[in-house]
A and B are shown apart, each in its own frame.
Chain A
Amino acid sequence: MSLEELTTKLTAYFNADDYDSCSKILPLIKIELIKNNLLIPSLTTKKNPNDLIITRSILEIGALVSINLLNLKDFSNYITQLKTFYDLVNILPESQNKNKLLSLYLLLLLTQGDLALFHIELERFNNFGLSVDELERDEFLSIPIKFEKWIIDGSFNKVYELLSSKHNFPCKEFNLFEKDLLDSIRLTIATNIESGYPSLPLENLKLLLFLKNLSDVNYYIDQMNWTVENGIIYFNNNLNDLDDEIKDEKLIVKNSLGYAKEMESII
């Protein structure tokens, strides 16, 4: 099959939301693209901008397909490939899907807890002349940025509220992250609670973790190794307060001897 036929097939499947068939065609298309030296644009290969735009939209479809199939690794790969296309601001017109895909990628980084990479990606927007507060005005990008702020702040209830009011997102793919993101913030909350409270009733923990039933609560209690007595959870974290006291006489002696040796070599 030629590249054109494959592409028309792909768009047909994609428009029909048949993601499985898409994912079968995509590797074939990629091979064709590599044959035509289109998959990786570089400064030295001067290609027809139209060809590049088509390649870009194929990759965008690929990214959307893989995210819909919850194939996160493939999704990251597609984004990495797409970034080189997005950097060609002088040659190609801006893609309409750019902000959508990049904000999905940012959300993915959030669920993986990779805040360093999250901020590195935000810095890259400086290349398009956009600072973070300008990004916040974009309907797609504002979402991951808001989430990140809340997570750093500790306003987890706001994250939960926005995630549970499903229909507010500008595109359906955002909902795919709901479960993963919630799980990841629940874990953060649990570790926060552990260090912040001496004890906590079970009911309140359920509320704080946005959980609906007690079996889910028990899952977290097991995972964090907490002890429960009479419906109250105790966090055993106050043990290491006095451990820092000076007990290590040997270290003092060793240090002093070291100083003496150095002093002698100076004199």
Chain B
Amino acid sequence: MSVEQAVKNSVAAEAVKEEKLSVSEKLSELFNLIQKSAQSLDSRYVLKVFRELTPIRSQLTADDLITTIESIYPQSHEHKSYLIATLEPFTQTDAMDISDDVKTSEELLPESDLLAHLLVQIYLHDKKDLKKLDLFNQKCILALKLYNKRTLDHIVAKIWFYVFRAKEQLKDLITIRTDLLAALRTATLRHDIETRASTITLILRSYLLTNDINQAYNLVEKTEFPEEASNSVVARYYYYLARIQTIQLDYSSAHECAITAIRKCPQTKSAYGFLQVSTKLNILIQLLTGEIPELSTFRDPVLEKSLLPYLAVTRAVRLGDLNIFSKALEEYGSSLKKDNNYNLVLRLRQNVIKTGIRIISLSYKKISLKDICIKLHLDGELSAEYIVSKAIKDGVVEATINHKEGYMQSKELLDVYSTKAPQSEFDRRVKFCMSLNNDSVKAMRYPMSTNRVDSKADLEAREREQELLQYLQDDDFF
């Protein structure tokens, strides 16, 4: 049976349902798109499906889903029975007209099959019936193993997301790891970029939620993350990376990763949560490296409210006052704990002293150790001496200590423009712009023009390309 016929059938089914709800119409529209992607072996249509799914997601009902599944699956398909059985408890109308054989198609594309699974997952997830979702997920994992087609990648990645999501909500983070690791291995062997990226982030999340930082770090070390995956997954990966590195005290790399995560974060409303979390982490990293974040960061209307505790902490660090710091900790401790950032904030206590020394060295050319002691509430000149020498070693201040006379003397500020630094910075930025330009050129698409004279030649070329693609797909060249 040809694909065309399947299309015809679904078109016919659509025609029958004309008077029905618009949601189920839209759903079958999605399945048409999926078929198109299967025919043209172009996964762009799958992305379009996801885009169109977002607005109707909240309107999905079990009835719509069942009608759609009925029309898509052949009568005796084994997946059909459990898909419908899962949805049945949610139906509103009892008298479902499901005996109508005309609607059902006879052949099922793997793409449609998995999309149906995904839709049911999304439905169960939005209904917050996690136990059922978890049960259903086991069937999904089995279904995933049946297919190996590159046009499925995006759907498979999403299905794994919901599989893990259910486990996370049920607080069962460890048992799923075996399945995820197996999926990662399969995806890597098949060059399935989307699933690979998605499973890596999910496994990292699972490790981080149980505080197995070492395991997470090992995973990062041993795997290669596909940078060309969807932006939202890449952003998530960088966020986790930043977290791992912060805990390992590697603040400068962590800072870079956090910035990348914020920049790659999607600009939609639903990503605000991620933006908040990663901005919080970034603020802490900045403070830990001794920088003071810009005030405008805290004024962003989307973030302002959630960043309040961090603003208080930043103020304390900026003033270099331990008393204010303890007060901020007392007031906002619980919300910091909720963000899982409390331990990092506690590390800042040391930075309060560092910032204090830095401010002193900037304002005084020469100051006795005793005065430093008094200003920073330290308990002895000897303490001050050790602390200052540590600060010099760490590069917090540019100064020397005169032990005999007991003072710290700041070094003359070096003129940056007499060094190589501006040049290398300029070079770095030019290179970045160049590669951005090159990447954009590479990413552009050149669709075949429809009204060109030699459209026939085009068509032939297209057919040849199709054949080649088909061949590649069938033989699984990868």
Complex Cα spacing A124 to B386, Å: 31
Instruction: Give B374-405 as 1s and 0s: 1 = Cβ < 8 Å from A's Cβ atoms.
Output: 00000010110111111111000001111110
Q: Check B386–A201 contact: CB distance below 8 A.
A: no
Residue of B nearest to A237 (CB): B400
Check B15 for interface membership: any CB of A closer than 8 A. Answer: no
| Chain A residues touching B, majority SS | helix
Q: Check A122–B212 contact: CB distance below 8 A.
A: no
Check A20 for interface membership: any CB of B closer than 8 A. Answer: no
Check A155 for interface membership: any CB of B closer than 8 A. Answer: yes
Complex Cα spacing A237 to B71, Å: 80
Question: A131's contact among B337, B388, B434, by CB below 8 Å, is which?
Answer: B337
Q: Check B420–A248 contact: CB distance below 8 A.
A: yes
Q: Check A195–B392 contact: CB distance below 8 A.
A: yes
Complex Cα spacing A120 to B382, Å: 31
Shortest beta-carbon distance, A203 to chain B, in Å? 10
Q: Which of B79-87, B126-134, B244-252, B301-309 contacts A (4 or more CB under 8 A)?
A: B244-252
Given contacts A126-B340, A131-B337, contact A154 B174 (CB under 8 A): no
Residue of A nearest to B336 (CB): A131
Question: B386's contact among A123, A156, A195, A262, by CB below 8 Å, is which?
Answer: A156
Q: Check B427–A255 contact: CB distance below 8 A.
A: yes
Check A253 for interface membership: any CB of B closer than 8 A. Answer: no
Q: Check A259–B403 contact: CB distance below 8 A.
A: no
Check B225 for interface membership: any CB of A closer than 8 A. Answer: no
Q: Check B400–A197 contact: CB distance below 8 A.
A: yes
Instruction: Give A238-256 as 1s and 0s: 1 = Cβ < 8 Å from B's Cβ atoms.
Output: 0001001110100010010
Q: Which of A9-17, A66-74, A172-180, A185-193 contacts B (4 or more CB under 8 A)?
A: A185-193
Given contacts A200-B403, A244-B420, contact A119 B389 (CB under 8 A): no
Which has the most chain B C-beta neighbours within 10 Å: A43, A123, A125, A208?
A: A123
Check A50 for interface membership: any CB of B closer than 8 A. Answer: no
Q: Check B249–A133 contact: CB distance below 8 A.
A: no
Check A117 for interface membership: any CB of B closer than 8 A. Answer: yes
Complex Cα spacing A115 to B390, Å: 16
Q: Check A120–B386 contact: CB distance below 8 A.
A: no
Given contacts A149-B350, A157-B380, A266-B437, contact A123 B387 (CB under 8 A): no
Residues of the A chain whose Cβ atoms lie less than 8 Å from the Cβ of B343: 119, 122-123, 126, 131-132
Check A127 for interface membership: any CB of B closer than 8 A. Answer: yes
Within 8 A of A (CB), among B56-93: none
Q: Check A252–B247 contact: CB distance below 8 A.
A: no
Complex Cα spacing A43 to B342, Å: 30
Residues of the B chain whose Cβ atoms lie less than 8 Å from the Cβ of A152: 350
Check B323 for interface membership: any CB of A closer than 8 A. Answer: no
Given contacts A131-B342, A156-B386, contact A123 B393 (CB under 8 A): no
Shortest beta-carbon distance, B111 to chain A, in Å? 35
Complex Cα spacing A116 to B254, Å: 13
Shortest beta-carbon distance, B391 to chain A, in Å? 7
Check B99 for interface membership: any CB of A closer than 8 A. Answer: no
Shortest beta-carbon distance, A205 to chain B, in Å? 9
Within 8 A of B (CB), among A114-145: 115-117, 119-120, 122-127, 131-133
Residue of B nearest to A193 (CB): B389
Residue of B nearest to A120 (CB): B213
Shortest beta-carbon distance, B269 to chain A, in Å? 31
Question: A117's contact among B214, B391, B437, by CB below 8 Å, is which?
Answer: B214
Q: Check B211–A246 contact: CB distance below 8 A.
A: no
Question: A189's contact among B386, B400, B403, by CB below 8 Å, is which?
Answer: B386
Q: Check A192–B390 contact: CB distance below 8 A.
A: yes
Residues of the A chain whose Cβ atoms lie less than 8 Å from the Cβ of B388: 154, 196
6 more CB-based (< 8 A) A-B contacts, given A195-B389, A196-B388, A244-B420: A43-B174, A120-B247, A131-B346, A158-B383, A196-B401, A197-B402
Q: 9 smallest A-B Cβ distances: which pairs?
A: A154-B390, A196-B389, A116-B248, A244-B419, A154-B387, A196-B392, A192-B389, A120-B213, A192-B393
B residues sitting closer than 8 Å to A (CB atoms) are 174-175, 210-214, 217, 247-250, 337, 340, 342-343, 346, 349-350, 353, 380, 382-383, 385-393, 399-404, 414, 418-421, 423, 427, 430, 434, 437
